[in-house]
Amino acid sequence: MFDLVKTLITGFLTSIILLLLVYWFWKLYDRPSKKQLELQEEKRAKRKEERMWQAIEVEMEKEREQTRSPEHKAELTRLKKLKLQVKSQLDKLL
- Mean pLDDT to the nearest integer, 6-30: 94
Averaged pLDDT score across all residues of the chain: 87
What's the distance, CA 53 to chain centroid? Answer: 18
What's the distance, CA 76 to chain centroid? Answer: 33
Q: Per the confidence metrics, is the pTM higher than 0.85?
A: no
**pLDDT single digits (tens) 67-92:** 666 666 777 788 888 888 888 888 87
In percent, the amount of the chain with pLDDT more than 70 equals: 91
- Binning the chain into helix, strand and coil, the percentages to the nearest 5 are 90, 0, 10
**pLDDT single digits (tens) 16-25:** 999 999 999 9
